[in-house]
Amino acid sequence: MRETHRQPNLQPFRDDPDCWLVASIEDYDLENDTARPGPIFSERVISPPAPPDITSAADALAVILNDRGRVDVDHIVELLHRDAEAVIAKLGEAIFRDPADGAWQTSDAYLSGPMRRRRSRRR
């Protein structure tokens, strides 16, 4: 039994991002001219993302920024199984503590914007 995926004319639908989900709902057998439900109905066809490989403080910072969108030193400490001072020292100038609110920020976020105002707050 030869099994293929039929390619109907999908040209009008190619702009629709869900077009391929609809096209994957059946497996079509050309020899017998029959169709049966595709694997999307019976098994996992998309795997969950693999857990990140965290080997350094910079890796942990990247994962935290991706997951939470902000610097979370406590969570980085949990991921690396180290104390907070060691993590902060390892990250160096990649993060800064904002003296206005005490929150940690990436160097890109902290060093952008009105620096004169920030410098006067630090004094």
Predicted confidence (pLDDT) at residue 5 exceeds the cutoff of 70:
no
Structure tokens at 54: 């965290």
Quick one: 61 and 118 in the same domain?
yes
| 63 and 18 belong to one structural domain | no
Q: Is 34 helix (H, G, I), strand (E, B) or coil?
A: strand
Return the structure tokens found at 6: 């039929």
Residues 6 or more apart in contact with residue 75 via CB below 8 angstroms = 64, 68
Contact criterion met (CB below 8 Å) for 61 and 71:
yes
Residues 69 and 42 in one domain: no
Q: Yes or no: say if 27 and 38 are a contact pair by the CB < 8 Å rule.
A: yes
Q: Which of 17-21, 73-77, 97-101 has the lowest mean pLDDT?
A: 17-21
What's the structural domain count of the chain?
Answer: 2
pTM of the model: 0.62
Residues 63 and 104 in one domain: yes
Is the pLDDT at 85 greater than 90? The verdict is yes
Whether residues 62 and 44 share a domain: the answer is no
pLDDT in tens, 50-67: 999 999 999 999 999 999
Residue identified by tokens 């050309």 is 30
Domain that includes residue 44, residue range: 1-48
Spatial separation of the C-alpha atoms in residues 66 and 85, rounded to whole Å: 23
Spatial distance between the Cα atoms of 59 and 66, rounded to a whole number of angstroms:
11
Q: Does residue 31 sit in the same domain as residue 81?
A: no
**CA distance linking residue 93 with residue 118, whole number of Å:** 16
On whether both 85 and 113 belong to a single domain, the answer is: yes
